[in-house]
Amino acid sequence: MWAELKEVKPVLEEQGYEINDPWDYVRIFEEKVATFAGSKYAIALDNCTNALFLCLRYQNIKGEITIPARTYISVPFSIMHAGCKPVFVDKEWSGAYNLEPTNIVDGATRFTKGMYKSGTFHCISFHLKKILKLGKGGMILTDDKEAYNWLQSASKIGRHVDRLYKDDYFDIAGWNMFMPPEQAARAILLFEDLPDENADSGGSATYHDLRKHEIFK
């Protein structure tokens, strides 16, 4: 853990960042990705599956959610855990697609400058098979301040948005889904070496048809 923090600290200080707490690495990584993608806010999480789940919960969406039949299997599971029903359709896609009829975007295989579309909840993956190969990690991009506050609080066990790393004030019964400082520090190092323009790392052709699984029948 401390090796990553010590390695990235001088890099950030040279860029003008002030590091007073390990959680500053998470905040800085969020700021860097938000600027890169073109969103106002970013929420760093433990994976993209939980990013999709939290977006669905925030909007209190119920009923059917339509997604491509060829996608990662955790996507329909996140829909089910949020109390919705996944409906599979034949759809070709690359990099990102919407969870219809919502404004939630599964952008797990896209990471390129300016990728954020205003008014959406854009979910990112930092899996080893994705573009920023952190190993495990995710993020939500949004331009909605109210949503940002709720998502930050909800992903950090319900802590108040002004005290996200203190165990003394809780707004809601949240979830333990946040990205820890050592992951964020490693992510910053990877991000610094990443080009602005990156080809999508996957799409419908990358995944098998989920309709073959008994659990969805």
pLDDT of residue 170: 86
Count the domains in the chain: 1
The pLDDT-based confidence of 11 (bands split at 50, 70, 90) is confident
Residues 107-150 have pLDDT tens digits of 999 999 999 999 999 999 999 999 999 999 999 999 999 999 99
The pLDDT-based confidence of 1 (bands split at 50, 70, 90) is low
Read off the pLDDT of each residue in 8-37 and give the average, rounded to a whole number. Answer: 93
The pLDDT-based confidence of 192 (bands split at 50, 70, 90) is very high
| 25: nearest Cα among 40, 39, 46, 4 | 4
Range of lowest pLDDT (10-19, 55-64, 114-123, 133-142): 10-19
pLDDT of residue 185: 94
The answer to whether 8 and 181 have CB atoms below 8 angstroms apart is no
What gap in Å lies between CA 163 and CA 205, rounded to an integer? Answer: 43
The pLDDT-based confidence of 167 (bands split at 50, 70, 90) is confident
- CATH (domain of 198): 3.40.640.10
**Rounded percentage of the chain residues whose pLDDT exceeds 90:** 85
Read off the pLDDT of each residue in 50-66 and give the average, rounded to a whole number. Answer: 97
Residues of the domain holding 48: 2-216
Edge-to-edge order in the sheet of strand 104-106: 41-45, 138-142, 121-125, 104-106, 97-99
